[in-house]
Structure 1
């Protein structure tokens, strides 16, 4: 499960960086690029949930 921990940390780090970029673009007044950052953030959120479900099932199988 140690591998899953590092994957989750890296995915959360990417999400934090995307939020930072979104704030910078918003404050700079570049509203047309916010949609693409929002899509990337949504994709990373869905990917993180799928990865969490996968490792949770792997952990259950390893416990049996």
Structure 2
């Protein structure tokens, strides 16, 4: 499904940039938000290091096209 979505957006005239697995916020900020919400922040099971939260796709769109 992700590959299909990528190809769909790649051929859109209004999409000017596609980024994959893009960090949502700096790691420190997401950790603070999790703490404020009393949530356990995700960590790597082997190293116990915090994992950066990402979005699958971040699109930059030219609103003047289309």
Structures share fold, TM-score greater than 0.5 = no
Higher Cα Rg, which structure: 2
Q: TM-score, normalised by structure 1?
A: 0.28
- Larger relative contact order (Cα-Cα within 8 Å, sequence gap ≥ 6): 2
Q: TM-score, normalised by structure 2?
A: 0.27
Higher-helix-fraction structure: 1
